[in-house]
Structure 1
Amino acid sequence: MPIEQTKISFPLPVAGTDCHRMLIKIRPQEIAYIVTIFEAYDMFGIARTVDQTEGILEILVSPDFVEEAKELIYALQKETELTVIRI
């Protein structure tokens, strides 16, 4: 499914074997909550803000925890207005 061209659309470079890159969109008010959740899971990866106004987060995940990170994102979708851009 192609991503609609917007100001947040940008080419996604191919990640090396050292991390898996995920992009999600959330309400800007929930950025701190989502980042804190990922920080609480040591060794999962790092969540960082790409666009604070639009609520775009990039999550860099260790290859060993990609499936667990996906499960966490799907669980967060049930309690927040989270949209997956790239997983």
Structure 2
Amino acid sequence: MEVGSILHFLQDKTILITEATGFLAKILLEKILRVQPNVKGLYLLLRAADAKSATHRMHNEIIGKDLFRLLKGKSGSNFNSFISKKVTLGTFHVKT
């Protein structure tokens, strides 16, 4: 499959990424947002007690990482707005 066809396939798609704080999930999220900004939306599923802690985890453990440096540079001051338009958080809580 050619790169162009993958980019075309991702355009206007909604994608669910589970365990979003994991190594591969972060790489996948950054790559999709950087190379196909016309993705319709990304749903991130991560473990958290509530929406506030999920947002905190997303900012600290995902988009706050150096991995997103290129995307931040490309988006400039619109980075946070871009992320809030494209990314929706979902949470799950595991009882032990």
TM, length-normalised to structure 2 = 0.29
- Richer in helix (by share): 2
- Richer in strand (by share): 1
The structure whose Rg is larger is 2
TM, length-normalised to structure 1 = 0.31
